[in-house]
Every structure is written in structure tokens, then in C-alpha cells.
Amino acid sequence: MKTLRPLLILVFTSAFLLGGCSRHATDASAQNERSMGDESLGDQPDLIPVVAALHDQMHTWHGTQYQWGGTELSGVDCSGFVWRTLKDRFNLPMDRVTTTELLKMGKRIAPGDMQPGDLVFFRINGGMHVGFYDTDRHFFHASVSQGVIRSALDNPYWHRVFYQARRLPKEYNAQITLNKGSGMTLARK
């Protein structure tokens, strides 16, 4: 068992920030942040279980169609995907949250300090969109047009509408659960 506090904090922060996904793409606000960072998992071994849990969830949900307000494999929106990931993979007991509610949780972090599990927010057409930062300047989210996918933050569209990143507080305790076939359950105390 490993201590997963830093990783879980990132994941929970990301999840809490999701909700109320926007359906349309437009220009970003003046608060757009341009520099987004990279990280090396070799220097941060505690992030490996978080990355594994996020990829496990992505494997399960990849391609699930977008459905406003959805939280099931039959259809999910951005905050629903974040909520289900926090609930299913990080065993965080919480009621369904919106992107606006997630945006109020945790601590805002600089784009260059993002780590796997951090929540990433985008301002789109007056609404908000949320996802989980993965690695290598990519993130997982429920796209209106493509369903649950992994996208590049360096894509001109996502780069333009990027709003902020947030990390959940360290006080959260959880247990990471991977798909049954993986044989892994990592407890954090």
C-alpha cells in the first residue's frame, strides 16, 4: 500500500470542479492562461496509481456519448464523468456536482504545476467545461461532439478556451479502485 495523498488530492480537485458543461465553442475570456506544464512521473512515483486509475476509467468510458446531465455509460456530461471517476475510482462519497460547484472546490494552481488528477476547466460560450489532467499536456473529458475522449491541451481550440486548473485538498482520504481484471486496489491512509 502506498501513500496516495498528493495524487488523490489532484483527482478529487479535478472532479469537484466539473459540472454544467457548455455545449458550444467560442472564443475564450481574457482570463485565458497560456502556459501549461509537463511533468515527469519518474520524479513523482505517488502519481502512478492516480494515472493508472484515470486510464482504467478512460478504458471503461472511452467513446461513451455525451448526454447533458448524464452520469451513466449510456450517456454522460463533463461533470458527470468527473463525478463518476471520483466516485468509482477514488471512492469519494459525494453527491452529484456541477462544473460550477467543482470550480469552487480545492485550490487554483498554475498551469505549469498541473499533475495527473488535477481538474482542468475551460470557458466555452459563457459556460464551463471540466476534465481531468492526464499526462503529457493531455486531459480526459466528455466532449459534446465526440463523447468521452483524451484531448491535447495544445490543440489550438482547447488552448484558447483554457480557464484554470484546480487541485483538491490533501485532507481527502480515499481508496483507488481499478477494473476487476487489473487486480489492483490501492488504499491511502
* Close Cβ partners of 175 (under 8 Å, ≥ 6 residues apart): 90, 91, 185, 186, 187, 188
The number of domains in the chain is: 1
Catalytic residue numbers read: 78, 129, 141
Return the higher-pLDDT residue of 185 and 147.
147
DSSP 8-state symbol, 12: H
Cα–Cα dist 170/156, whole Å: 33
**What pLDDT was estimated at residue 161?**
98
Per-residue model confidence as pLDDT tens digits over 106-146: 899 999 999 999 999 999 999 999 999 999 999 999 999 99
pLDDT number for residue 177: 59
| pLDDT score recorded for residue 159 | 97
**Domain around 172:** 5-187
Q: In this model, does residue 96 exceed pLDDT 70? A: yes
What is the distance between the alpha carbons of residues 32 and 86, in angstroms, rounded to a whole number? 26
CATH number for the domain that contains residue 50: 3.90.1720.10
Say what the pLDDT of residue 38 is.
40
In this predicted structure, what is the pLDDT of residue 4?
Answer: 40
Beta bridge partners of residue 71, listed in sequence order? 76
Instruction: Name the range with the highest mean pLDDT among 24-33, 36-45, 113-122, 163-172.
Output: 113-122
Q: pLDDT by residue (tens digit) across 42-71?
A: 345 478 888 999 999 999 999 999 999 999
What's the rounded Cα separation, in Å, for the pair 155 and 158? 5
Q: What pLDDT does residue 110 have?
A: 97
Q: What pLDDT does residue 21 have? A: 52
- Long-range pairs of 138-141 with CB within 8 A, sequence gap ≥ 24: 140/54, 140/57, 140/58, 140/81, 140/85, 141/78, 141/81
User: 140-151 pLDDT, tens per residue?
Assistant: 999 999 999 999
- Please, which pLDDT band fits residue 170 given cuts at 50, 70 and 90? low
Give the C-alpha separation, 57 to 91, whole Å: 13
Supply the pLDDT for residue 105: 85
pLDDT value of position 90: 84
